[in-house]
Structure 1
Amino acid sequence: MAHPSQRRIVIAAAVLAATVLALAVAWGRAGGRAEAAGGEGWVGTWSAAQAPAGGGIAGKGFTNQTVRMTVRTSVGGDELRVRLSNTFGTQALTIGRATVALPVANDTPQIQPTTLRELTFDGRQQVTVPKGGQVLSDPLPMAVGPLQELTVSVFLPVATGPVTFQFNAREPAYIGAGDQAAKAEYTVADSRNYWFFLSGVDVRTRHAAGAVAVIGDSLVAGNGSTLGLHRRWTDYLAARLRDEPGEADPGILNQGLAGNALTHDGSEIGFPELGVNGLARFLRDGPGQTGVHTVVVALGVNDIQIYDDSPERIIFGLRQLAAQARQLGLRVLVCTVAPFQGFSSWTPGKENTRLAVNAYIRDSDLFDEVLDLDAVLRDPDGTGKLKPAFDSGDHIHPNDAGNEAIADAVALEWLLDS
């Protein structure tokens, strides 16, 4: 039996952890209610879910190298700030310099030199990110528009160890020797379709409308969409919002991780880059993002097709995410599980699981709204297949047309805080 003093230490630690978590969530949602009213505030305009490194360049990390990455905003603003993450690092991360600029084009590392701005962290150019931590840059006066591409460059002067990253960027990160963060003409040594350490971009806007975080798997991350052209369904949704009448649109934050599951880590099958389970990452990737008032959950297909889970286990995971969202005052939308007959792992038993999970989602009153991916993407021939016009070719991931159809199925009023 533990000594009373030991029990007091344990209880105190638990209380402290809960307090820190509450403060972290509040930090991510700061200003959310003012933003909902259309006032001035910070909102997330771009994000990428982060995962641990596996092998290769991500496992090796960087030394005296610069990584240059391009992202695209969902909403615009008059100031911006950038979030860098060492969430899954094994040691402290030193950022020697970080910059932001407008690119010459979306398929090149070259930037427009007159737009180059230095990022600082509490007024300093260099910053150390502790193991497991993240840092937010100082606000930078730099006007950016909706659906505008930004190039972020990060110089890494000393060995980083294994990286924190998103391996499904759908556009290249350029890797170069030495400090090239402020160079307009960038010399490329290597490239990968990853985002390294870069986890978010926020903007301050006079017409803030909060943000919507979409927590999902490869159908959210964009597998099957055209590389480099921003054709994930969240990209189509951001474009649709911009084209609708009205002054204030919410930021659309894509928190997709290919291979991600509700209750399984990718490391269970030898691929840590698939991320930690949805329950483990929910607070960080949903309410922990800036100004989030609505969370969309699009998980479950990998729990079926990779892990062959029961409907009960999958439903438990969905119920838990919905309950946690509600506890924090968030609206929660849940997606049905899309069809995948014809994919290599499909079986009749897994199809029965998918149908059972979808039946529960449609009938439950636990969710504010249901985005019926199955109804949008399923072939009307009565099978559990994707419509041929929406099939990227692997029978599980929608192509560009399928992603656009998903975005068109979203009722825009679902995304507005009330």
Structure 2
Amino acid sequence: MSVANSSQRRIVVAAAVLVATALTLAVAWGRSGAPAEAAPGEGWVGTWASALAPAGGGIAGKGFTNQTVRMTVRTSVGGDETRIRLSNAYGTQPLTVGRATLALPVANDTPQIQPATLRELTFDGRQQVTVPKGGQVLSDPVPMPVRALQELTVSVFLPAATGPVTFQFNAREPAYIGAGDQAAKAEYTVTDSRNYWFFLSGVDVRTRHAAGAVAVLGDSLTAANGSTLGLHRRWTDYLAARLQDDPGEADPAVLNLGLAGNALAHDGSEIGFPELGVNGLARFLRDAPGQTGVRTVVVALGINDIQIYDDSPERVIFGLRQLATQARQLGLRVLACTLGPFQGFTSWTPGKENTRLAVNAYLRDSDQFDDVIDVDAVLRDPDASGKLRAAFDSGDHIHPNDAGNEAIAKAVPLDLLTGS
């Protein structure tokens, strides 16, 4: 080996050691920007988050040029300062953000904001920021107190062509699209709207009253396809409300990281729908422990591996075991959801039902998880275990309606989320 090559090797090894050290420190600092020895409940925590995916066709594939997107989100816990995260994880080029703002909406079904609440966001003190291809950016904190279960409006002005977007196509909330820079306008002029979240991956708050965060890594049952649009009727929304009603001093935030059509071991692009996201094993680190202040991960994946891809029980169980192992390696509590019934849905077969039952039997008996949330037991018809209860059926025989989502939330023992 030449001296030059030997020197290069030492540089590469040294760099690898630095990266490993940085990762160790990141875990020790709890992924929240606060040292591990900080007082419980003190520091930054995610109050809202979304799993994002690559664009398919339509407006997401085309992207934006000289347009503003205005989006509504709902907090799960409150705090005294606020910041946002913007993601270009699946972009094909650098993303230019010309301006971003935060405000309180006039109502949850309107793009208009309360002018006195408007906060201009900066990134290292600058209004404009470039998000690298595949990267994300975190805004500077602003002194904006927010309450738990409060709606926030995030506006992002995109001055240059974005190319295909990074987005969530099942927001259950409208995103309003307008021409030019309207990020700071109280009266917003809408040219189009979609039930999407564009580029926005998280909102964090600084607080002394939250016991970390619970990240729910799921599919369309977590994203709540069968729930009422615009009314925050996902089971994680009901769960966040339950936690706020709990008399305890500090409650965890609840972060919904559901992607409709998502699977443990398959990308949506395999069936021509990239917007269904990359597989759960590929997105796990970013979408679950990668959120601010996460202490507990709930795995609610596997049904699509069965009903779409007809995977064997062994393959589904392998994916679940892998996620449990990876969560434990990071020092996180990990819970699993059993797989709900879907007899009557277009893809159901007796063979797939047997696979679902085998996976559920494994989950109920497994020691790989700290505990199990038995979604199947909540949703199934007592007289026909392969079917959804009629009172919980949104109409497609796989996705629960508002009542079904509320029932799931009510079935979660709150001490499972904190380990108390």
**TM-score scaled by length of structure 2:** 0.95
Q: Structure 1 residues 83 and 215, CA, compared in 2 at 3 Å: closer, same or farther?
A: same
Q: How does 1:371-410 map to 2 (within 5 A)?
A: 371-410=373-412
Q: 2:31 aligns with which of 28, 31, 35?
A: 28
Verify: 1:159 aligned to 2:161, yes or no.
yes
Verify: 1:193 aligned to 2:195, yes or no.
yes
Q: Structure 1 residues 119 and 234, CA, compared in 2 at 3 Å: closer, same or farther?
A: same
In structure 1, give the amino acid aligned to 2:221: L
Q: Structure 1 residues 362 and 197, CA, compared in 2 at 3 Å: closer, same or farther?
A: same
Deviation at 1:160, TM superposition (A): 0.5
| 1:323-342, Cα deviation, whole Å (9 max, x unpaired) | 00111100000000100000
Q: 2:356 aligns with which of 354, 370, 392?
A: 354
**Cα distance between partner residues in 2 of 1:14 and 1:338:** 43
Q: Is the 8 A contact 2:77 2:210 kept in 1?
A: no
Deviates more, 1:238-247 or 1:105-114: 238-247
Q: How does 1:16-415 map to 2 (within 5 A)?
A: 22=24, 28-31=31-34, 33=36, 38-415=40-417
Percent of residue pairs bearing the same amino acid type: 84
**Cα distance between partner residues in 1 of 2:212 and 2:84:** 17
Deviation at 1:383, TM superposition (A): 3.4
| 1:120-175, Cα deviation, whole Å (9 max, x unpaired) | 11111010100110000001101100000000000000000110001000011000
Q: Is the 8 A contact 2:41 2:250 kept in 1?
A: no
| 1:316-364, Cα deviation, whole Å (9 max, x unpaired) | 0000000001111000000001000000000000000000000000001
| 1:259-313, Cα deviation, whole Å (9 max, x unpaired) | 0000111111111110011111111111110000000000000000000000000
Q: Is the 8 A contact 1:42 1:208 kept in 2?
A: no
Structure 1 residue ranges, 4+ long, deviating more than 3 angstroms after superposition:
4-27, 29-35
**Structure 2 unaligned residues grouped into runs of 5+:** none
Q: SS of the counterpart of 1:70?
A: strand
**Cα distance between partner residues in 2 of 1:260 and 1:18:** 30
Q: Is the 8 A contact 1:298 1:335 kept in 2?
A: yes
Q: Is the 8 A contact 1:32 1:293 kept in 2?
A: no
| 1:356-385, Cα deviation, whole Å (9 max, x unpaired) | 000000001110010001100000013300
**Cα distance between partner residues in 2 of 1:86 and 1:24:** 21
Q: CA RMSD in A?
A: 1.9
**Cα distance between partner residues in 2 of 1:113 and 1:390:** 41
**Cα distance between partner residues in 2 of 1:206 and 1:289:** 18
**Cα distance between partner residues in 2 of 1:389 and 1:22:** 48
**Cα distance between partner residues in 2 of 1:375 and 1:290:** 31
Deviation at 1:13, TM superposition (A): 7.2
Q: Structure 1 residues 359 and 10, CA, compared in 2 at 3 Å: closer, same or farther?
A: farther
In structure 2, give the amino acid aligned to 1:303: D
**Cα distance between partner residues in 2 of 1:12 and 1:271:** 41
Q: Structure 1 residues 158 and 207, CA, compared in 2 at 3 Å: closer, same or farther?
A: same
**Structure 1 unaligned residues grouped into runs of 5+:** none
Q: Is the 8 A contact 1:32 1:210 kept in 2?
A: no
Q: SS of the counterpart of 2:56?
A: coil
**Cα distance between partner residues in 2 of 1:74 and 1:139:** 18
Deviation at 1:248, TM superposition (A): 1.0
